[in-house]
Structures are given as structure tokens and as C-alpha cells.
């Protein structure tokens, strides 16, 4: 995924309303009227959110007569997940090292415990 496209996609997902819209579209296509219902927003406000999602490549909008059904575009989301996967692996390794370090500390505590008790 190009850097600019990745930036646009993450920026679009920074808004909770847009994330909720994507969650709804994951269930199937919907038009603007259907997408307005769960929100306390006007139709123009939801349309602006849809425009941001469309420009980021996260949704597509078709045309059926007067309706403009919106659909989730899964490929950019997969590309984002793939990009994030490298960081997940990094964090997993960091947590594994932390676990090893904590195990070492606990073992050392067990070894030091008899010596500490004698001093009292």
C-alpha cells in the first residue's frame, strides 16, 4: 500500500463515526438513508463521512437509479492489517523478552529469599 493511501486510510479510521459506518457496511451494502438511521447526524454529515471513506479507498459507491449504495472495499483494510502485522510481531517479541526477564527476576527472588530471612 502506498504511503499516501495508508495515511489517508488511517486518518479516515480515526473518526469513530466512520469506523461505525465501516462496521455497518461489513454486514452488507447500504445507502445513505440506511446509514443515517443509527446516528444523531444529518444526511449531509453522513455523506461527508462517506466521502472521506471513499477518498481513502475504504468504500465504493455505486449508482442504482436514484440510490447510491455504499459497499465496503476490503482490500485496503487487508493491506492496513498486513502493514500492522509487522508491528504486532515486534510487540510479541518485546512481550516475550519481558516475560523472560520477569521469570529471571522471580527465580532470583526465590534464590535470595533464604538469605534475606536469615538476616532478620
Residue 91 lies in a domain: no
Tens of pLDDT along 87-115? 888 888 888 888 888 988 888 888 887 76
Does residue 30 contact residue 24 with C-beta atoms inside 8 Å?
Answer: yes
Residue 36 lies in a domain: yes
Range of the domain at 17: 3-73
Residue 10 lies in a domain: yes
pTM for the model stands at 0.71
Does residue 77 contact residue 8 with C-beta atoms inside 8 Å?
Answer: no
**Judging by beta carbons within 10 Å of its beta carbon (0-12, 13-18, 19+), is residue 79 exposed, middle or buried?**
middle
pLDDT at 96 (0 to 100): 84
When divided into structural domains, the chain yields a total of 1
Residue 30 sits in a domain of what CATH number?
1.10.10.10
Quote the CA–CA distance of 88 and 67 in Å, as a whole number: 40
Tens of pLDDT along 7-46? 999 999 999 999 999 999 999 999 999 999 998 899 999 9
Amino acid at each position: 500500500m502506498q504511503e499516501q493511501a495508508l495515511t489517508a486510510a488511517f486518518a479516515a479510521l480515526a473518526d469513530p463515526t466512520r469506523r461505525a459506518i465501516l462496521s455497518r457496511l461489513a454486514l452488507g451494502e447500504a445507502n445513505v438513508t440506511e446509514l443515517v438511521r443509527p446516528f444523531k447526524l444529518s444526511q449531509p454529515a453522513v455523506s461527508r463521512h462517506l466521502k472521506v471513506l471513499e477518498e481513502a479507498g475504504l468504500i465504493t459507491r455505486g449508482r442504482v437509479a436514484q440510490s447510491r449504495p455504499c459497499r465496503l472495499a476490503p482490500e485496503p483494510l487487508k493491506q492496513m492489517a498486513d502493514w500492522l502485522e509487522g508491528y504486532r510481531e515486534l510487540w510479541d517479541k518485546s512481550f516475550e523478552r519481558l516475560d523472560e526477564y520477569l521469570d529471571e527476576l522471580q527465580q532470583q527472588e526465590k534464590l535470595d529469599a533464604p538469605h534475606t530471612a536469615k538476616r532478620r
